[in-house]
Amino acid sequence: MKWALLSFLLLQARALNRPPPVGEAGATASGGRFVVPLHRQRVPVKSDADTVSYKSVYFGHISVGGPKPQPFTVVFDTGSGHVVLPSRWCRSETCLVHNRFDPAKSATAVDIEHDGTRVEPGAARDQITVAYGTGEVTGQFVSDRLCLGEVPAGDEEAPAASTSSAQEKPCIDLRLVMATEMTHEPFHAFAFDGVLGLGMDSLALAPEFSFFGMMTKQRALEQPSFGVFLAESDDEVSEISFGGHAPEHLKSGLLWAPVALPELGYWQVKITKLRLGNQTLDFCDDGQCRAVVDTGTSLLAVPRAFAEAYQGPLEEAVVSPPVAKDGSLDCRLAQGLELTFEVDGATLELHAGDYSRASVQLQDENDDSWSSLEPATSATALGDDDGEEKQEGEDDASAAAGTTAAPPSSSRCRATMMPLDLPEPLGPKLFIWGEPVLRKYYTVYDWKEQRIGFGLAKHVSDRKAAPQEDVAKKQPKVQRKPLLL
C-alpha cells in the first residue's frame, strides 16, 4: 500500500489567472460535549482486471456559512491541520461529484489571504498546495462559520452564526481552505467532500486555521479534548466526541501518554521498547522510535527497516482460522505473534487478529490509498511504498471486522503493514497507528495537557465474548501500568 505524508506549500506568487473572489442526526450535545457519528466507506483498489484491496475512510457531517448553511462531509483527520473543502471555482470532474462551497452564498464568508488580511475585490489571491501522496489539492482562503453535524431538515434557512442557537449548535469562526483544483486520484472515488484537520496548532499555517484550537477558545467545552471510537462491525456506530470522551465506549480505564515533540504538531508518542512475541527487539534502543496516532490512516505503518527485518517472521507465524460454513474468513480469530509497544513502562499489544487481514498474493502494484499527516514545513510528498501485498476483496458488512466473504482458495490471513521511509524530524523510525490500533483502543486527545489517552474499546462483540473472568485476566497488564501506549 502506498502512503505519504500530507504536506503543504504556501505559494506567495499572485495567480492572475485565478477567478476573482466572489440519516443520522448530526452532532448531538450533552452539556459541553458534542458527538458526531462517523460513516465508514470502503473504496476498492483495482489492478488491471480485479479488485485487489480496499481502503477505508471515516467521515461525518458539518455545515459552513449562513443564513443558509452549506452541508459537507469530511474526514476528521488527526494527521493534518486545516479544513479543506472543494470550492465552486473547481469545475473538474473530481470536484463536481462533491458538494462545493460557494462563499458568495454565505453572508458570513470573508475572502482572505493566509494571514487573515481581507482580499480586495478583483485582487490576486494567496494559494496553498496540499499533496496527498498520489493526489494533490490547490486552494485559496476564506473565513467563515463552521458547524458540526448534519443540517436538520427544515433548518436550512437557520442562521449558522446565530447566537441564540449557540448552546444547541456547536459552531465556530474559522479560516478555511477552498480547493480550486483536486486531482482525480484519490478524491474522485471517495464519498466525503473534504478534510477537517485535528492536528495541533503548530501543524496549521496559523492558529486561526486550527479547528479544535479555535473550538477551545470559542466554545464552553466540558473538557478541552476529543475522543475517537471506531466500530468493528455494522452493529455499532463510529463517532468522534468533542469536549470530552464517551465513557460508554471504554472497556478499561484511560491511561495517558505525553505528546512527543509537540512543536511538530502531531499527536505522537515516544516508543521506548518493542517486543515481538517473547523476544525484546533492540530496534528502539537508540531512542528514535515514535508513533503518530492517525485517524486518517487505514493500516498500521512501520519504518521500512522494521518491515524488512521483522515482517517476514510476523507473516510466517500467522495461522488463519478455519473458513466458516458461509465461506467467510474471520481474520480477527487469526493466531500469531504479539507485537508489543512500550512507553515509559506502559504497553499496547496488537495480536495477530488486530494486524492481519484476508489477502491473496498478487503482482506488485502501487496502492493509492488515502493518506494523512501534514508536516508544517515540508513541501515534498514522502515515503511511498511498493505495495508488495494486496488485500483480497471484502464485502461492506464483514470487512470492518477483517472478515471476507467467499474467499478464493488462495486467500488467507496475512500480517498487513505499510513500510515507510521518512527523513528527520519525523523519521526515520516513525510508526503510524491507524485503523487497526484505533479499533482496538479508544483514543482521547487532550489539547490542554498535550497528552493522549488510551483505553480498550468496548464493542458490541464484547457482549458475546468469553466469560467475564477470562476477560478480566487480560486486563491487569494494562491497568497496572501508569500509561498505555
Question: Is the predicted pLDDT of residue 241 greater than 70, yes or no?
Answer: yes
Q: How far apart are the first and last CA of the chain?
A: 25
Q: Torsion angle, CA of 135/137/138/139, rounded to 10 degrees?
A: 180
Q: What is the mean pLDDT of residues 452-467?
A: 81
Choice between 166 and 219, residue whose per-residue pLDDT is larger: 219
Nearest to 259 by CA among 199, 349, 196: 199
pLDDT 10s digits, 198-222: 999 999 999 999 999 999 999 989 9
Joined together, the cell numbers standing for residue 353 give: 487478529
Assign residue 450 a region (left: φ > 0; alpha: ψ between -120 and 50; beta: otherwise): left
What pTM does this model have? 0.82
Joined together, the cell numbers standing for residue 4 give: 505519504
Q: Are 353 and 402 in contact (CB under 8 A)?
A: yes
Q: What is the mean pLDDT of residues 145-168?
A: 63
Report the percentage of the chain scoring pLDDT > 70: 72
pLDDT 10s digits, 43-73: 776 655 554 556 788 999 999 999 999 999 9
* Number of alpha carbons in the 13 Å side-chain half-sphere of residue 428: 7
Q: Are 221 and 174 in contact (CB under 8 A)?
A: no
User: What confidence score (pLDDT) does residue 256 get?
Assistant: 94
What mean pLDDT, rounded, does the chain reach? 79
Walk me through the domains of the chain, giving residue ranges and CATH numbers: 6-229 (2.40.70.10), 246-479 (2.40.70.10)
User: What confidence score (pLDDT) does residue 132 get?
Assistant: 61
Read off the pLDDT band of 333 (50, 70, 90): very high
Joined together, the cell numbers standing for residue 69 give: 448553511
Pairwise CA distance, residues 349 & 48, whole Å: 37
- Which contacts qualify for 312-319: CB closer than 8 Å, 24 or more apart? 313/276, 313/337, 314/276, 314/339, 314/355, 314/415, 314/417, 315/414, 315/415, 317/277, 317/352, 318/352, 318/356, 318/412, 318/413, 318/414, 318/415, 319/352, 319/413
CB-count exposure of residue 107 (10 Å: 0-12, 13-18, 19+): middle
Read off the pLDDT band of 135 (50, 70, 90): confident
Residue 169: phi and psi, rounded to 5, are: -115, 110
Helix (H) or strand (E) holding 353: helix 352-355
User: What confidence score (pLDDT) does residue 229 get?
Assistant: 98
Pairwise CA distance, residues 66 & 160, whole Å: 5
Coil/strand/helix, residue 41: strand
Helix (H) or strand (E) holding 471: helix 468-473
Q: What is the mean pLDDT of residues 224-247?
A: 95
